[in-house]
Chain A
Amino acid sequence: MILGLIQQEMSYGALYLYVGIFMLLVTGFVATVLVLARLIAPGRRSVAKAAIYETGEATVTDPWRPFPVRYYVFALLFLIFDVEAAFLYPWAVVYEDLGLYGFFEMVVFVLILGVGLAYAWKKGALKWV
């Protein structure tokens, strides 16, 4: 009935009805499942259940300790290639149409990205210290 109503007048405002119904359904579903789980599930706690799950292995050390985040520099550098790839694929698709001009345009683009890599390299970002 409601769907018919919406199709009858597909005004901008009526489309929000879809979203509203959907949100009600989602909230209702989540609430129902949570309440059911609380009612049905047997609550037997034990030490083994509360232990940290390490893919079935017994934990050897305390996981809450500082560790060096060396790889963040690499993650930053990865961004250079990530951006490059994002532009190279669509460029490759229309390469034939763009011709020589498009080729040199991409060369300039890659060179500018290369400047970023060269900078990071020279500054020692690629060394694993």
Chain B
Amino acid sequence: MSYTGEAFLGLMPELISTAFLIAVLMVGVFAERSAGLVASLAALGALVTFVGTAVLLFIGFEGEFFGGGYVVDGFALYFKLIVSGSAFFAVLAAARWSSGTGDAAEYLMLILSVVLGAMLLVSMRDLFGIFLALELATIPSYAMVAFDRRRRESAEGGMKYLITGVIASSILLYGMVLIYGVAGSAQLPDIARAFSGSLTPVALIGLVLLISGFAFKVSAAPFHFWTPDAYQGAPTSAAAFLSVAPKAAIFGVLLRILLEGMPGAAPVWTVVMAFLSIVTMFVGNLFALRQRNVRRMLAYSSVAHSGYILAAFAALQGDAVPTGVQAVMIYSAAYAVMNMGAFLVIDLAGEEVKGYNGLFRTRPGLAISMGVFMAALVGLPPLSGFFGKAWVLLAGAQSGSGLVYVVVGAVVVNSVLSVPYYFGIIRNMFFEEPSGGETAGEGGFAVEFSVYTLAAATVIFALIVGPLAALAQASGLL
């Protein structure tokens, strides 16, 4: 075991976020009335982590540490950028709200812990390391959901999230143990050797349990029941952050497990993914149609979008593997900007669909931003969501498998299905009279800044999608 400066460099983003995490907690506890200082410290932490990750990516840093169990490559760094970038906006959005709770330091520290867990997660190449990092990312998120003590829904959502999350973790762990039992090792390259050729029944059960556990975590149907309650109860910044950052990291690590750990079993897991994807898309969209509460609508919409990303997983076969990987990576980034923005608008315009009536008259900037997010979530070009879906469809077309063509068809059908509820909000904002009696929450300057920045990012995504695709191409997974 050798410790070199290289390992410190590779772990720099994680070390930075750990240092800021501790600093935020200690400053918050030991300095009186320091909410502003704590929030700036947390935002700075997320930003420095982001810059550190970007520097590593820029210099093309690659390396394996801790006996091959931890790998820093372009793929991992890409997802770390998504995680730390969205954490920055989550901290901005949470700054004012959390100072009102009196526990700003704790809340912001929880965000940074999720960041740390999610960043470690995408670098893990060892099943038990993956489990540890996943728990590090999800245990703080239970607390984040239940943090709004003034609302009963928050406690209820937190409790449901905790119980289903713990069950999911145990299912996942059981799957991992079975895979470990079959492969005799928890490291992905060793597992790849055991998972070639025909699978033993135990290996198959392990694989299915593993995928089920991950399906819980990314709220894929039929494991999505916690999502609407958790996102409805959670503070807005928590819902915005948790629907984006840990999810992207979990998709990242699932991609790594499947492609590095069990490429030989691809015929099995692509079929599982195909069915999971179709069910998830339909359940998410059909339930979203019925919602009168924007939080619940966006929660079901996030279920549907998990389905779209899973469609790219189903396409990971034959020549389509590089495009499929690209699709997951680009979709995660596109989804991060548009969904986070849409959730944060709730902080400014309220969570009742009626509250959006005539928003264009009263607050044109906000209405246009929300319009951009909604159109992007539908997948209209040239907004970010379009490129995510375009890559998914491209990967599906290249896969040359009949089942995947069905999945691709379902993606198209579901994009049409989702139009009414996204455009219902747009119609309310632009063509309805203001309902009066504004109940809109006043989120403050930081939230508005986040919303407008994310809206701008959603619009100019077309300009950065080329470099992102190139980055994904050179990411090192494969």
Q: Is the CB of B22 within 8 A of A112?
A: yes
Q: Is the CB of B29 within 8 A of A123?
A: yes
Q: Taking the nearest CB of chain A, how far is it from the CB of B105, in angstroms?
A: 9
* CB closest residue in chain B, given A121: B29
Q: Taking the nearest CB of chain A, how far is it from the CB of B300, in angstroms?
A: 37
Q: Taking the nearest CB of chain A, how far is it from the CB of B188, in angstroms?
A: 24
Bound Cα distance A115, B22 (Å): 7
Q: Is the CB of B29 within 8 A of A122?
A: yes
A128 within 8 A of B: no
Number of interchain pairs (Cβ within 8 Å): 13
* CB closest residue in chain A, given B23: A115
B66 within 8 A of A: no
Chain B residues, Cβ within 8 Å of A122 = 29-30
Q: Is the CB of B3 within 8 A of A119?
A: no
A85 within 8 A of B: no
Which of B3, B26, B29 has the most chain A CB within a 10 Å cutoff? B29
Chain A residues, Cβ within 8 Å of B26 = 115, 118-119
B25 within 8 A of A: yes
Chain B residues, Cβ within 8 Å of A29 = none
A72 within 8 A of B: no
Contacts of A93-109 to chain B: CB distance below 8 A:
101
Q: A-facing mask of B1-42, CB < 8 A → 1, else 0? A: 001000000000000000000100110011000000000000
Chain B residues, Cβ within 8 Å of A119 = 25-26, 29
How many positions in chain B have a CB within 8 Å of any CB in the partner chain?
6
Chain A residues, Cβ within 8 Å of B30 = 122
Main secondary structure of the interface of B (DSSP, over half): helix
Chain A residues, Cβ within 8 Å of B3 = 101
Chain A interface residue count: which class? under 10
Contacts of A56-75 to chain B: CB distance below 8 A:
none
Q: Taking the nearest CB of chain B, how far is it from the CB of A46, in angstroms?
A: 45
Q: Taking the nearest CB of chain A, how far is it from the CB of B42, in angstroms?
A: 16
Q: Is the CB of A118 within 8 A of B22?
A: no
Bound Cα distance A25, B25 (Å): 56
Bound Cα distance A119, B30 (Å): 8
Chain B residues, Cβ within 8 Å of A112 = 22
Q: Taking the nearest CB of chain B, how far is it from the CB of A96, in angstroms?
A: 15
Bound Cα distance A115, B19 (Å): 11
Bound Cα distance A85, B22 (Å): 22
Q: Taking the nearest CB of chain A, how far is it from the CB of B22, in angstroms?
A: 5
Bound Cα distance A101, B30 (Å): 31
Chain B residues, Cβ within 8 Å of A118 = 26, 29
Bound Cα distance A112, B18 (Å): 10
* CB closest residue in chain A, given B1: A98
Bound Cα distance A101, B4 (Å): 11
Q: B-facing mask of A18-57, CB < 8 A → 1, else 0? A: 0000000000000000000000000000000000000000
Q: Taking the nearest CB of chain B, how far is it from the CB of A18, in angstroms?
A: 17
Bound Cα distance A112, B25 (Å): 12
Which of A112, A115, A119, A123 has the most chain B CB within a 10 Å cutoff? A119
Bound Cα distance A53, B60 (Å): 71
Chain A residues, Cβ within 8 Å of B25 = 115, 119
Contacts of A78-102 to chain B: CB distance below 8 A:
101
Q: A-facing mask of B209-232, CB < 8 A → 1, else 0? A: 000000000000000000000000
Chain B residues, Cβ within 8 Å of A115 = 22, 25-26
Q: A-facing mask of B258-276, CB < 8 A → 1, else 0? A: 0000000000000000000
Bound Cα distance A123, B30 (Å): 9
Q: Taking the nearest CB of chain A, how far is it from the CB of B220, in angstroms?
A: 34
Q: Taking the nearest CB of chain A, how far is it from the CB of B113, in angstroms?
A: 12
Bound Cα distance A48, B300 (Å): 61
Bound Cα distance A115, B25 (Å): 9
* CB closest residue in chain B, given A123: B29
Bound Cα distance A112, B3 (Å): 20
Bound Cα distance A92, B29 (Å): 33
Q: Taking the nearest CB of chain B, how far is it from the CB of A105, in angstroms?
A: 9
Chain B residues, Cβ within 8 Å of A123 = 29
Bound Cα distance A119, B23 (Å): 11
Bound Cα distance A129, B29 (Å): 20
Bound Cα distance A112, B26 (Å): 11
* CB closest residue in chain A, given B30: A122
13 pairs of residues in contact across A and B, judged by CB atoms under 8 Å: A101-B3, A112-B22, A115-B22, A115-B25, A115-B26, A118-B26, A118-B29, A119-B25, A119-B26, A119-B29, A122-B29, A122-B30, A123-B29
The 9 A-B pairs at the shortest CB distance, nearest first, are namely A122-B29, A115-B22, A119-B29, A119-B25, A122-B30, A101-B3, A115-B26, A115-B25, A123-B29
Known: A115-B25, A122-B29, A123-B29. 10 other contacts (CB 8 A): A101-B3, A112-B22, A115-B22, A115-B26, A118-B26, A118-B29, A119-B25, A119-B26, A119-B29, A122-B30
